[in-house]
Amino acid sequence: MLKKKCDKNIARTIELAQKMIELAQTGYEQQEDPGCGVLYGILLDSGYRLLDLAQKEKHAHMQKGWWDDTINKEMF
């Protein structure tokens, strides 16, 4: 099956969102002032929103038969 560049970008977006969530959780635990709490709260919210959108798009591509499961294995 042809590997679409758009699918690779979706996989990269999922990876990025997961890293954003991880960083936000760590940063929130280690915060020392309210400004950091706001920063990491926004990062966490944004990460979850991006992850949700990217997973929905991945599912849509799977339904169309475009998604190739080897994408994640080759990406990183």
Burial level of 10, CB count in 10 A (0-12/13-18/19+)? buried
Residue 1 banded pLDDT, cuts 50, 70, 90: very low
pTM of the model: 0.82
Quote the CA–CA distance of 10 and 75 in Å, as a whole number: 11
**Range 20-48 average pLDDT:** 96
Q: Indicate whether 36 pLDDT > 80.
A: yes
